[in-house]
Amino acid sequence: MEIEKWSHVFKLDPEKELSDQALESVCESGTDAIIIGGTLNVTFDNTIELLGRVRRYALPCMLEVSNIEAVVPGFDGYFIPLVLNAQNPEWILGAHARGLEEHGPFIRWDEVMVEGYVIGNPESAAARLTAADTQLDEGRMKAYARMADQMLKLPIFYIEYSGTYGDAALVKAAQQVVHNSRIFYGGGIRTAEQAAEMAQWADTIVVGNSLYTDLEAALATVEAVKKIKE
């Protein structure tokens, strides 16, 4: 898992349909990795099925764990979100404690990375589930960024606007104060221009939903990001 080399990843939702042909173009697009994850209706069965399909291709495949019941062995690595702006403590460390009670002795820690999440879209399923405080300005964003990077020393600071395109100025604000965490930006990227804009400030761009609505435009984000990072 060399996430420091990843500038672009696609996030696939096990609940959503993607044809074999579409999956092939996603996996052969030049993206750096696939993350499998979603907020609702992620099950062991739909996760393992999608992993099996992605495994036909050579790129790394990570599971973003959102449901303890859906932890499937055999991924290259596991991302564990810790929602820094959740107001429901379950999603800060509650679910994590229960996960460790169940799986603690079996976890291979070199395969696990914790993501410090900040959720910015109040309408997203993730914001509703976690009761996220989505009132973000540059000062607040910098505070969360320092929390992930300096205070908690997390490998990933994930700015999540799932379903809507976020404010690039906030991503820039985070970038100004983060020294070590890798900054992931995901949310509402539908065009190459949007991907390029966020790639100025985020280390890694995550594209999810648009794969299911406009595949060609989603695929074009790979090259747009790679150009910025050249």
Residue 41 contacts residue 26 (beta carbons within 8 Å): no
Smallest separation, CB 99 to ligand 1GP (Å): 19
Smallest separation, CB 10 to ligand 1GP (Å): 9
Considering only CA atoms, which of 186, 47, 81 is closest in space to residue 124? 186
Q: Return the number of the residue (150 or 226) whose C-beta is nearest ligand 1GP.
A: 226
Contacts of 103 (CB under 8 A, 6+ apart): 68, 71
Q: Return the number of the residue (27 or 159) whose C-beta is nearest ligand 1GP.
A: 159
Q: Return the number of the residue (154 or 206) whose C-beta is nearest ligand 1GP.
A: 206
Smallest separation, CB 75 to ligand 1GP (Å): 17
Q: Return the number of the residue (71 or 218) whose C-beta is nearest ligand 1GP.
A: 218
Smallest separation, CB 174 to ligand 1GP (Å): 15
182-186 and 156-160: which strand pairing? parallel
Smallest separation, CB 213 to ligand 1GP (Å): 10
Considering only CA atoms, which of 9, 19, 1, 12 is closest in space to residue 51? 12
Contacts of 213 (CB under 8 A, 6+ apart): 190
Residue 70 contacts residue 44 (beta carbons within 8 Å): yes
Structure tokens at 185: 């930006």
Q: Return the number of the residue (72 or 189) whose C-beta is nearest ligand 1GP.
A: 189
Considering only CA atoms, which of 206, 169, 194 is closest in space to residue 10? 206
Smallest separation, CB 191 to ligand 1GP (Å): 12
Beta strands in 120-181 (DSSP E): 156-160
Where along the sequence are the contacts to ligand 1GP (CB under 6 A)? 11, 160, 162-163, 186-189, 206-210
Give the CB-nearest residue to ligand 1GP: 186
Q: Return the number of the residue (99 or 163) whose C-beta is nearest ligand 1GP.
A: 163
Contacts of 60 (CB under 8 A, 6+ apart): 1, 32, 33, 34, 76, 77
Smallest separation, CB 188 to ligand 1GP (Å): 5
Q: Return the number of the residue (85 or 210) whose C-beta is nearest ligand 1GP.
A: 210
